[in-house]
Amino acid sequence: MRRIGVLTSGGDAPGMNAAVMAVAKAARYYGMSLIGIKRGYNGTLCHSRNIEDDMVELDLDTILDIADLPGTYLRTARCLDFLKPEMRMHAANNIREMGIEGIVVIGGDGSYQGARSLCELGIPCVGIPGTIDNDLAYTENTLGFDTAVNSCMEDVRAIRATSRSHDRPGVAEVMGRHCGDIALRTCASTGAEICIVPEVPWSIQEVADRLCRLIDNGNPRATVVVAEGAWDAMHPFDWQHFLTERGVKHVYPDTTINSEYLALILKHKCSAEVRATVLGYTQRGRHPSAYDSWFAFEAGNLAVNLLRNGIGNQVIGIKDGRVFYMPITMALQQKREFDLALYNLVNSL
């Protein structure tokens, strides 16, 4: 191959720039030119007024300048148009017209589905699992997960310091979509006492009982870490009625529960000043950790080598600490296994 493309898609993840840098270095080494495709799959549709806003020749020197920065230089997006077969066909034609013979796709499972479609249309793609969520079953770690956990660990430690100063329990909400791995690892690495995840059904009463017990046993600053996707796994509880009866304002029947409301419920159930913090984008906009930077480096290099050897339709992952690759379809078929043993340990010790 003489020319390849690279794109980042879905939510940005720490390490995406580092992976693009690794791709750029390997492409230069093997004498291939590299096209950066902007804003995920949107760039392949070439809808912008200027082509540079969709696809741009990547110069290694420019890339070296941004490799250490958080976020993604190529920009990213979730491209709904790409769900339409006629749009994917249009994209494949644009890619061919640009002389791009293969693409490195850095993103999560939605991005992988886009890559698989492009492969079916004759454009070889190799995926690098760029997402903080760690929700891809075939790999031990996704790119960005380690950094996100480090970020949450730092933030939860800060929350616990203030909780300790005031003898107040805290609720910290972390990301992860339908995956509880960020919450679980954050608890394990900070000593947070209660972990709530989407994978395990839970009830507010059970959480309140545990928190009240911790407070009664001399730990008035315990921390609850809740994964953003865990609300769907909550046993039904008329929490709006519970809060309204206690004089809490602006709680309407169609309001959905969140960590602020959970903190209020726990405050009333345990008679304690419980405070909630939503960690949000602090988890995504970080400099990649050493682990993520290493993974990005190896994955970027392997992706270029696969394309160079005509091996498309693959995704890269980590198994037993080593970088490997496997077919996209096979990777997407694997079922995630939640680490129930660690979850039980965190919640019982």
Please list, in sequence order, all residues whose beta carbon lies within 8 angstroms of the beta carbon of residue 330, skipping any fewer than 6 positions away: 138
Q: Of 25, 39, 88, 177, which one interacts with ligand F6P (CB under 6 A)? A: 177
**In contact, 133 and 175? CB cutoff 8 Å:** yes
Judged by CB under 6 A, the chain residues 97 through 116 that form the site for ligand F6P are 108
Q: How far is the CB of 213 from ligand F6P (least distance, A)?
A: 31
Catalytic residue chosen out of the listed positions 12, 54, 133, 181 = 133
Q: How far is the CB of 284 from ligand F6P (least distance, A)?
A: 6
Q: Is 317 in the site for ligand F6P (CB under 6 A)?
A: no
Whether 292 is a known active-site residue: answer no
**Which region among 92-100, 117-125, 174-182, 204-212 touches ligand F6P (by CB under 6 A)?**
174-182
Judged by CB under 6 A, the chain residues 223 through 252 that form the site for ligand F6P are 228
- Distance from C-alpha of 211 to C-alpha of 262, rounded to nearest angstrom: 12
Q: Is 118 in the site for ligand F6P (CB under 6 A)?
A: no
Secondary structure class of 245 (helix, strand, coil): helix
- Distance from C-alpha of 216 to C-alpha of 270, rounded to nearest angstrom: 9
**In contact, 35 and 6? CB cutoff 8 Å:** yes
Judged by CB under 6 A, the chain residues 274 through 303 that form the site for ligand F6P are 284
Helix (DSSP H) and strand (DSSP E) numbers for the chain: 13, 11
Q: Is 175 in the site for ligand F6P (CB under 6 A)?
A: yes
| The dihedral formed by the CA atoms of 144, 148, 150 and 152, expressed in degrees to the nearest 10 | 180
Angle at 127 between CA 285 and CA 120, to 5 degrees: 135
Q: Of 8, 44, 117, 131, which one interacts with ligand F6P (CB under 6 A)? A: 131
Closer to ligand F6P by CB, 137 or 212: give it.
Answer: 137
- Distance from C-alpha of 242 to C-alpha of 173, rounded to nearest angstrom: 22
Q: Which two tokens stand for residue 331?
A: 């990777």
Q: Is 36 in the site for ligand F6P (CB under 6 A)?
A: no
Q: Quick count: other Cβ atoms within 10 Å of Cβ 320? A: 6
**Which region among 126-134, 193-201, 260-268, 269-277 touches ligand F6P (by CB under 6 A)?**
126-134
Q: Of 27, 74, 126, 132, which one interacts with ligand F6P (CB under 6 A)? A: 132
Q: Which two tokens stand for residue 327?
A: 């077919």
Binding site for ligand F6P (CB under 6 A): 10-11, 108, 131-133, 175-177, 228, 284
What are the catalytic residues? 133
